[in-house]
Structure 1
């Protein structure tokens, strides 16, 4: 049976999810968020009705419950109902009152206690946070030996084991052995140029399938949890095509930056900025002015765009040439893009096929019929562009 990870896009890269009884290692570079991945998987499985536990040696149970609350998840209720429990490997070592179904008083107990915890959650999930601390307490060889025993027993119980591992300056041979000991490895990295510009994950190993080698940028929101992060989506098109309305329609929050230009052009211009939080995706959205005299702004905003929405007024075919010009000027020819045929509610609006013919657009560019002011077609446009970006 395949179990969902509940991490956006991850299941798509692993042929639908994780076979029950398999073990997964989230292997993170220092400084990269990693606990949220384990927490989100546990929360998702608990919401599915499964049982689970967290072994923690990095924080006390109250702190973890508080973290769950910040993500918008209610772990305390699940613990109170007996659906989830803690293996507390932290409190005794920092002088705090111990909590949990199992308490680690010394690390010679850890192997047997986790085996008992696995037995308590058949077909459920267990989170081991953090494997690095176990290595520090137990040493390399003992830790590897214990991991192998836990994984073997978890397969028998059909329990999913999730290891959180911060990849400090351990020997490469040790890291390779840890990765070999589990069924799947998710690598979490900092995306760097001169400075760190983001964080990403990719499936480095999945024994049950050939995983996608795509690197996905992610962002951890509180509340919200792990989201696929798209740095910039561009919204452009001719004047009066409906760009501002579209940005507001798809954004969790948005703002229009207005500036009165009295000197040469007595008109109001606007740049629209929005933030999207949709189906596990988080993105920044930039809408451009449509007039030709502001094409310099279009050139600036288009840099580093990951995808583009091109809005056209379905009732104004005389603007289609300008729309094609804007596609070229914002370099949208080289990135995934969706054309939105707005104002379909108005008499005389051209069909999507008529627009495709007049604009001479290839068949691989989706054209979505829409009435943006009523939000009709906006979700279809979002799904189409996100599918192009991530190959759905």
Structure 2
């Protein structure tokens, strides 16, 4: 098993990438996607894997400096585990073999000798210049697993300048075990980079897109908005505050002398390798016109009800209709105040709110941190299984 080094992505892949796989990171223009390859390379070498890096566009030393500057990974510390074919090697092959078919044979021979002699575990290939010479399929075929005497995982990075349709046609000719496309400025939330799991040969997964940010050279999958909504005094602010590692709330005293949200609650946390922002909406009807805006671009909705107040169920159903009218996203129902005497049952919730049978319903106390975390972990699972 080879790990990508990105916890959320490894989780989606149910652990990582099986040995012997062929993986493609296809980067679209303006996407900050180079760190996927670098992170996976660093993770593999730290695990003690023997690595061959093909960098036709630059010299080895310049590549090491660039990686250290971008990610702070110092690959020169692992010189006994990493071999390179860099720009100088490419120029030597080209000079010695001006004919294309001879050049291809020279590439295959050199790669085969290095891999078999040094018992290379993983090859990382920057594919663009090779595909300019040999075509996409021809460049990938240089790393034919039948030429190796042991199982080798091959990771390719390719700048896709031609759009999704051309990429699909390339995959028909050249199959991969895993394809992750990296793109910017499109999908369920604008202004973020996205990664899409396009193909996974060992799992039955739908294609889905998830945002990420690149911070100090590290990839952090990102859920920019989960919305918590529900009637007044159902515990939304308590939930957001208790589940968050940092946050704020805009409150004033309500009619009963308890704080009530007049704008929104904002929280931030991490779960299952994702950075997450959580937004709690006000529950009063006069704020209904702004809820569609608050729910815009949400990747999940948590609908809170008070199990001691069955009279508030119609209001909860109304709010559910408002947020569902804005977007189609995963939803979880949280039945709060289950630590008190209550009369609302799960059957009543499903009937009154008209939620689907597969919609999770959690009975919790919003004061219990671990119960709130369980809800968020479930929501992350829902989001990562949802085709946006």
Compute the TM-score of the two structures, normalised by the length of structure 2.
0.75
The answer to whether the aligner puts 1:118 opposite 2:115 as a matched pair is yes
Deviations 1:262-307 (A, max 9, x none): xxxx987231223443213344332111222222222321233232
Match of 1:281 in 2: 274
* Distance in 2 between residues matched to 1:149 and 1:87, nearest whole Å: 16
Partner residue of 2:84 out of 76, 84, 87: 87
Deviations 1:156-184 (A, max 9, x none): 331211111112369x9899568734533
Cα 1:49–1:367 change in 2 (3 A) is farther
1:71-120 C-alpha deviation (Å, 9 max, x unpaired): xxxx43x7535574252626x6xxxxxxxxxx767454993654455347
Distance 1:132 1:236, change over 3 A: same
Indicate how the Cα distance of structure 1 residues 151 and 227 shifts in structure 2: closer, same or farther if over 3 A, else same: farther
Structure 1 distance, partners of 2:215, 2:275, is 12
The answer to whether the Cα contact below 8 Å between 1:202 and 1:214 also exists between their aligned partners in 2 is: yes
**Structure 2 CA distance for aligned equivalents of residues 18 and 31 of structure 1:** 26
CA-based RMSD of the aligned residues comes to 4.1
Q: 1:325 to 1:119 in 2, by over 3 A?
A: same
Structure 1 equivalent of residue 27 of structure 2? 28
Match of 1:344 among 338, 344, 349: 338
1:102-151 Cα offsets, whole Å, 9 max, x none, are: x76745499365445534764732222x3113345xx235x855542323
Partner of 2:349: 356
Instruction: Find the partner of 1:233 among 220, 226, 231.
Output: 226
CA-to-aligned-CA distance 1:33-55 (integer Å, 9 cap, x gap) = 33222123223434545343433
2:306 to 313, 318, 322: 313
- Gaps in structure 2 of 5+ consecutive residues: 97-105
Query: Secondary structure at 1:158's aligned position in 2?
Result: coil
Moved more, 156-165 or 328-337: 328-337
User: What pairs with 1:262-277 in structure 2 (closer than 5 Å)?
Assistant: 269-277=262-270
| 1:134 maps onto 2:130 in alignment | yes
Aligned mates of 2:354, 2:117 — CA distance in 1: 59
2:365 to 334, 352, 371: 371
1:241 and 1:312 in contact (8 A); partners too = yes
Q: Does 1:299 align with 2:292?
A: yes
Count of matched residue positions in the alignment of Structure 1 and Structure 2: 362
The answer to whether the Cα contact below 8 Å between 2:131 and 2:138 also exists between their aligned partners in 1 is no
More off after superposition, 333-342 vs 366-375: 333-342
Cα separation, partners in 2 of 1:155 and 1:315, compared to 1, 3 Å: farther
Mapping of residues 118-197 of structure 1, within 5 Å: 118-119=115-116, 122=119, 124-128=121-125, 130-136=126-132, 139-140=133-134, 145=138, 147-152=140-145, 156-168=149-161, 180-181=173-174, 183-184=176-177, 185-192=179-186, 197=191
Report deviation, 1:64.
0.4
Distance, in Å, in 2 between the alignment partners of 1:120 and 1:247 is 57
User: What stretches of structure 1 of length at least 5 have no aligned partner?
Assistant: 70-74, 93-102
Instruction: Kindly indicate whether the alpha-carbon contact (under 8 Å) linking 2:266 and 2:278 is maintained by their aligned counterparts in 1.
Output: yes
* C-alpha distance in structure 2 between counterparts of 1:361 and 1:149, whole Å: 56
- Distance in 1, matches of 2:316 and 2:227, equals 14
Answer whether contact 1:15 1:211 (CA < 8 A) is retained. no
Q: C-alpha separation between the residues in 1 aligned to 2:22 and 2:64?
A: 23
CA distance in 1, matches of 2:252, 2:63: 51
Partner of 1:68: 71
